[in-house]
Every structure is written in C-alpha cells, then in structure tokens.
Structure 1
Amino acid sequence: MRATRQLSITLPQEMAVAVRQRVESGDYASDSEVVREGLRALAERERAVEHWLRTDVVSAYEKLRADPSRARTIAQVREKLRHTREAIEQE
C-alpha cells in the first residue's frame, strides 16, 4: 500500500501565489511540501488548543465550581483589562 495519496485541491489565488513563492524561493521542493508543512502546523496548533482546554480551562472551571465567589462580572473583567492596559502603556 502506498504511503502517499494524490489529491487535487483548489486554493484562492493569493494562497496559490504564496505556495508558489515558497517553492520558487527554494524553501520547499514542491507545492506538496508546502501544503504538508501547513497541515503539520495546523495539527500542532490543534494539539496546543486541546492541551490548553484540558489543562488551563478545565482547571479554571473546576476552581470556579468549587468556589463560585471567584467569578467576575464582564464589567469587572473589562475594568481589570483597562487597568492592565494603562499600566503597560505607562511603561
């Protein structure tokens, strides 16, 4: 059984140009290599999001369920973000 499978894909013009430019620059040997690298990056991003959801988000949710007083309103979150932004801008 072959380890690869040929596909025919259609890309928006700007993506097709970007693929071609990467090949012409010598960074990749073929259009297929560019697409494979993009799919690897997508898979890695999906793994990272899944990990974040399973660790940070679930942990925060469980802490909130254990102690609902930790909850903040949208207004409180916006105020905190405003103060943080102001502090960064003053640096």
Structure 2
Amino acid sequence: MAMVKKSITVTDQQAQWIQAQLATGNYASDSEILRDLIRKEQMRTAEIDVIRQELIKAEQSGFSSRTTSDIVNAVIARKQVNDQI
C-alpha cells in the first residue's frame, strides 16, 4: 500500500487531545492516531450505508404483520447466531 504524505492543521484543543492519546501509549505517532480515526470513520460510514440500504429495502417491502416483540426477538436471535460465528 502506497503512503501519501499530508500536512494538516489542527486547533490547540485538537493538538492537546492528540498529545493525550500519545501519552496513553496506545499510539506511537500523530499519524497513527489519524489513520486509526480515518479507519474507524470508514467503518462507521460503511455500517451506516448498510443500515440505510436495509431501511430503504424495508420501506419498499410494505407493512409487516409481525408485532414489535416478534421483530425484537428475531433481531436478538439473529445477533446471538452472528456472535457465535
């Protein structure tokens, strides 16, 4: 993977936050923190896109005869199966 060098400007408050993150020892550099934040935002955006598409699909499918409890129980059961995988 090729790396591209970027120069950014942050506020004093943001710089202090970055320094605090470095002080935890979880990151070795400012760049590592920023790359981690970008990866997390990319994952969050992808999750939101999936949810948005599922909502659109659900809206287009019409009304359900299932009760709220039926839906909640189905989601819980699906999550338990996914957690076991």
Which interval holds the TM-score relative to the shorter structure? Answer: 0.5 to 0.7
Aligned counterpart for 2:58 among listed residues 57, 60, 74? 60
Q: Which residue of 1 aligns with 2:76?
A: none
1:20 aligned residue: 19
Equivalenced residues, count: 64
In structure 1, runs of 5+ residues without a counterpart are 71-91
* Structure 2 CA distance for aligned equivalents of residues 38 and 50 of structure 1: 18
* 3-state SS of 2:10 partner: coil
Runs of 4+ in 1 over 2 A off after TM superposition: none
1:36 is paired with a residue of what secondary structure?
A: helix
**Matched residue type, 1:39:** I
Give the % identical residues: 25
Provide the aligned C-alpha RMSD in A.
1.9
Alignment of 1:1-91 (within 5 A): 3-55=2-54, 57-64=55-62
Given the two structures, how large is their TM-score scaled by the length of structure 2? 0.66
Unaligned 5+ segments in structure 2 are: 65-85
**Deviation of the 1:4 alpha carbon:** 1.0
Name the TM-score, length of structure 1 as normaliser: 0.62
